């Protein structure tokens, strides 16, 4: 499970691709090869390697999301 929390206000936002039928499975354990990259001073969130979404089983690669107007939008997917 994943959530985005505004550290100043405490408001909780849904992670990218969290709607029914579009979930993005991110392996969040010490044995997986997942990477979540972000910077406090940037609106970009990058999820890499080993992910599969329900609409495209087997898709692995890097998902690039932009945070704008309190939500994420997919900017680019680069498959492997």
Render pLDDT for 14-68 as a digit per residue (tens, 0 to 9): 888 666 655 665 555 555 556 788 898 999 999 876 645 545 544 678 889 999 9
Domain ranges of the chain: 4-79
Tokens, residue 6: 């505004």
DSSP H helices, the chain, are none
- Cα(18)–Cα(40) distance, integer angstroms: 22
Output the CA torsion sign for 12, 37, 57, 76. positive
pTM higher than 0.75: no
């Amino acid at each position: 499970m994943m959530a985005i929390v505004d550290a100043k206000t405490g408001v909780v936002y849904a992670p990218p691709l969290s709607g029914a039928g579009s979930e993005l499975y991110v392996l969040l354990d010490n044995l997986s090869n997942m990477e979540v990259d972000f910077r406090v001073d940037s609106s970009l969130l990058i999820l890499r390697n080993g992910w599969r979404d329900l609409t495209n089983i087997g898709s692995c690669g890097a998902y690039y999301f932009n945070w704008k107007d309190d939500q994420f939008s997919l900017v680019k997917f680069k498959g492997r």
